[in-house]
């Protein structure tokens, strides 16, 4: 089996995954046996049926109970079994697997497996400054990646952490980002988290909106909780137990980390003013 260290967690796959080569363990870790999945147990109860963007298009995505684990089904791709501990993701069908299969594995399957281990993946871009991570949330196309790239490309202590997905954990006393996670739109050798610590404290979240001039507003806790909950990746795939844990963790995040609304015009020339505004708070 191939061993990887992703978002502070160890994962095992029955074959190498090219998209994960930068995260392969090279410390002499021993292989662990993959769990056996009795075929008759696969998919005996539907957990969730939704649609998601996988492989360049909207596809049907389903999760099924497959005791003792979970079965993930994506339209056009092979099925994947996720072990109950979330530490192994196994193709149910024959391999070698296709490009779409690998994107399913590195995308929704990996996000779901992390959630089963208490690591929640935010749809976010992120940067680090003075030892803390600041995450940008917003709808697709709102400018999260553009803002993160602009800040990290201009020096003055900003370091890029994540392009599209940011794993986080929360307890009653601490909220942390786990930057060593594969960003699908970034080449393996250019992954932003490779040379960062395993975990970094979260300094704050910024939900991006549009306005005529840059402005920051600290959100009240109730609204902050809504923002965090709405930006957790693949939450529609969770069963009742995972949903309950997810909501509890989101409440811990909203209680401990500030969540701001960051409004500015969707123009490149506005980003310098946005940077100055952020540096006054970060």
CA distances from 277 to 137, 162, 214, 282 (A): 17, 21, 8, 9
Q: Measured on CA atoms in the order 135, 138, 139, 142, is the torsion positive or negative?
A: negative
Say what the pTM is: 0.91
Q: Could you tell me the end-to-end alpha-carbon distance of the chain, in angstroms, rounded to an integer?
A: 43
Is there a single domain that holds both residue 136 and residue 219?
yes
Confidence bin at 14 (pLDDT 50/70/90): confident
Is there a single domain that holds both residue 67 and residue 139?
no
pLDDT (tens digit per residue) in 221-257: 999 999 999 999 999 999 999 999 999 999 999 999 9
Residue 62 pairs with which residues in a beta bridge?
A: 49, 73
Cβ contacts of 56 within 8 Å, gap of 6 or more: none
Containing structural domain, residue 7: 2-117
Residue 191: give its domain's CATH number: 3.40.50
**Residue 277: its pLDDT value, please?**
93
Q: Decide which of 86, 117, 148 is a domain's last residue.
A: 117
Is there a single domain that holds both residue 270 and residue 148?
yes
Is there a single domain that holds both residue 270 and residue 140?
yes
Is there a single domain that holds both residue 95 and residue 158?
no
């Amino acid at each position: 089996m191939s061993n990887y260290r992703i978002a502070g967690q160890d994962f095992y796959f029955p074959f190498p995954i090219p998209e994960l080569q930068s995260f392969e363990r090279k410390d002499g870790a021993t292989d662990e046996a993959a769990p056996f999945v009795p075929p008759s147990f696969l998919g005996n109860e539907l957990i969730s049926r939704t649609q998601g963007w996988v492989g360049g298009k909207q596809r049907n995505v389903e999760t099924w109970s497959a005791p003792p684990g979970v079965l993930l089904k994506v339209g056009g791709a092979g099925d994947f079994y996720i072990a109950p501990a979330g530490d192994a993701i196994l193709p149910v069908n024959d391999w070698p697997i296709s490009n779409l299969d690998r994107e399913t594995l590195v995308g929704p399957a990996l996000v779901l497996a992390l959630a089963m281990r208490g690591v929640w993946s935010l749809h976010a871009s992120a940067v680090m400054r003075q030892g803390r991570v600041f995450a940008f949330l917003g709808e697709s196309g709102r400018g999260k990646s553009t803002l993160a790239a602009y800040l990290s490309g201009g020096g003055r202590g900003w370091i890029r952490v994540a392009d599209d997905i940011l794993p986080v954990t929360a307890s009653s006393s601490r909220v942390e980002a786990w930057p060593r996670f594969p960003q699908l739109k970034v080449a393996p050798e250019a992954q932003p988290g490779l040379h960062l610590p395993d975990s970094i404290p979260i300094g704050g979240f910024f939900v991006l909106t549009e306005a005529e001039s840059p402005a920051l507003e600290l959100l009240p806790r109730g609204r902050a909780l809504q923002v965090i909950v709405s930006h957790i990746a693949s939450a529609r795939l969770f069963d009742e137990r995972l949903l309950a844990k997810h909501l509890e963790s989101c409440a811990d995040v909203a209680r401990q980390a500030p969540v701001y609304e960051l409004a500015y015009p969707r123009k490149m020339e506005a980003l310098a003013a946005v940077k100055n505004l952020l540096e006054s708070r970060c």
